[in-house]
Chain A
């Protein structure tokens, strides 16, 4: 086994996914199969090879720090599940 059910539960917590027991079961088998497949990368010797994060070689993209019009509170909040008119409302964080 490449991955255990306990590890899958741990990853689900990290990913903030409240998976049902049957989903965890199915996920364990599928992730195990996929991780088994991707293991083939270990056939390749990559000692000394630079990793590619980006296909197009890029420098930092600098721009001037200028004030420009932005989307505005009303537009930014038009899809929010809950607001108080200026802030996004979420369940209480600190008791």
Chain B
């Protein structure tokens, strides 16, 4: 039996029946990581000893008959989550030696359930990137084609699943950082509504946009993991105090009679032919399942990338001010006083893309430019959010491509930051609006690369988009596959 070829729900049965143990499972994943990480580079830190200890504890809990849904399940998390006594670099040289003194709430919730955290996943530095090429730990390779990017910034979180190194993972999504890599790696990834999952202990990039979410091999596992981490947290005053539904209870209810909107601004000329074909086929599948397809308009879509790169960078310039070489991180001091120490530490510790975004954000917030850039962008954000709310008056969900092309080649866009930013045109608007979305496999390109489908939902309608995603997944045969490597 190949343990890493199963899903969470299948493994839970095998753990309950005693057919396998968490220790055996954990060892299988650790072995797969050891055998494949040189190729994929998805893990920054592997927590072998901690994972085996947690697995042994989980086995006792299962034997005692008080297992929770995640007990004994090996998971891996993006290196953006503070994880007690484990190195947490956020993909940056400036946090090269940082060991978390506490657990993020999402991690604490998983530990309470007895999940086994097997390691910390590679990512674009401070979650800034669309290709996972901006990591101090080196680029992640797409398991389906090692010359291509896995997407970003949660590139490690998506690649590890496609490579069979983890059953499911946690990522974060600020402008598409869960959905775009999920699409490029052929896995399922969900960006919850802003406030659905606590951000406490998650290293901040752009606080009004960042959201934690699950990635998994199938929709059901994604729903299970979301249920395990969602909920109000007094430690995050932006988390929302609304009950977490049982996402599995309604998962298989189908889409008959649902109204699915196609925003015409997402079906543009620049769309890759294979992507268009796959998404068109998905639309036909939903029609066949009894959904009603309606064209809608999100008229301000074309302004989302510009709006995002002002708001996100402004927030980043403020959030990243904390990396000053005083309380943590790698200090560089050449004896030029306190401000000299700050400036040298930051110049030496941050990579090019992070510097670029701090510079842009600092500029957008600086005296004389605030109204023209930052305030203007916040007003445009209102228009973008209103577009979605208007569309959701007419339809239950929206269906779009995730990315305009399948995974591109490593190095293809590194010299042109603006081209890289434009690869996020279909994912960014959702973060500005604060709504939920899911990416799931819907086909392959002529070169065999995965293509993703995006379903967008109303505020806190995670159950509804999971339901629609499950209906598609179980009518087609695109997802759940592992790259052989």
Instruction: Give the interface of A toward B (CB within 8 A).
Output: 3, 7-8, 11-20, 23, 27, 30-31, 33-35, 37-44, 46, 49-56, 58, 61, 63, 71, 75-82, 88, 90-93
Contact between B325 and A18, CB atoms less than 8 A apart: no
Contact between A56 and B341, CB atoms less than 8 A apart: no
Task: Closest A residue to B434 by CB, please name it.
Answer: A55
Q: A42-B376, A44-B383, A56-B194 are in contact. Are A61 and B237 (CB under 8 A)?
A: yes
Contacts of A3 in B (CB 8 A): 363
Name 14 interchain pairs, CB-CB below 8 A, sorted by A: A16-B321, A31-B363, A38-B373, A44-B300, A52-B385, A53-B208, A55-B385, A76-B327, A77-B327, A79-B327, A91-B341, A92-B337, A93-B337, A93-B338
Contact between B355 and A38, CB atoms less than 8 A apart: no
Contact between A17 and B358, CB atoms less than 8 A apart: yes
* CB of A39 to closest CB in B, whole Å: 8
With A41-B303, A56-B193 known, 14 other A-B pairs at CB within 8 A are A15-B362, A19-B347, A35-B360, A38-B377, A41-B376, A41-B377, A50-B382, A55-B434, A56-B194, A71-B102, A78-B101, A81-B331, A88-B326, A92-B337
The docked-state distance in angstroms from the alpha carbon of A69 to that of B244 is 28
Contact between B358 and A15, CB atoms less than 8 A apart: yes
The docked-state distance in angstroms from the alpha carbon of A20 to that of B352 is 12
Contact between B346 and A16, CB atoms less than 8 A apart: yes
Q: A15-B317, A42-B376, A93-B338 are in contact. Are A71 and B101 (CB under 8 A)?
A: yes
Could you say which of B49-57, B138-146, B305-313 contacts chain A?
Answer: B305-313
* CB of B107 to closest CB in A, whole Å: 16
Contacts of B326 in A (CB 8 A): 80-81, 88, 90
The docked-state distance in angstroms from the alpha carbon of A35 to that of B418 is 10
The yes or no answer to B5 lying at the interface (CB within 8 A) is no
Contact between A81 and B329, CB atoms less than 8 A apart: yes
Q: A56-B238, A90-B341 are in contact. Are A46 and B355 (CB under 8 A)?
A: no
Contacts of A16 in B (CB 8 A): 321, 324, 339, 342-343, 346
The docked-state distance in angstroms from the alpha carbon of A78 to that of B97 is 11
Contact between B331 and A51, CB atoms less than 8 A apart: no
The docked-state distance in angstroms from the alpha carbon of A76 to that of B362 is 28
Contacts of A63 in B (CB 8 A): 234
Task: Closest B residue to A40 by CB, please name it.
Answer: B306
* CB of A62 to closest CB in B, whole Å: 9
Contacts of B343 in A (CB 8 A): 13, 16-18
Give the contact-size bracket for chain B.
35 or more
* CB of B302 to closest CB in A, whole Å: 8
* CB of A53 to closest CB in B, whole Å: 6
List B342-362 residues whose CB lies under 8 Å from chain A: 342-344, 346-347, 350, 352, 355-356, 358-360, 362
Contacts of B310 in A (CB 8 A): 38, 41
Of B208, B307, B379, most A-chain CB atoms within 10 Å: B379
Contacts of B359 in A (CB 8 A): 8, 11-12, 15, 17, 27, 31
Contact between A54 and B379, CB atoms less than 8 A apart: no
- Choice from A33, A40, A82 contacting B303 with Cβ under 8 Å: A40
Contact with A along B386-424 (1 / 0, CB 8 A): 000000000000000000000000000000011001000
List B54-92 residues whose CB lies under 8 Å from chain A: none
* CB of A33 to closest CB in B, whole Å: 6
Contacts of B321 in A (CB 8 A): 16
- Choice from A49, A77, A90 contacting B338 with Cβ under 8 Å: A90
Contacts of A43 in B (CB 8 A): 303
* CB of A76 to closest CB in B, whole Å: 7
Contacts of A81 in B (CB 8 A): 325-326, 328-331
* CB of A83 to closest CB in B, whole Å: 9
Q: A11-B363, A41-B306 are in contact. Are A46 and B333 (CB under 8 A)?
A: no
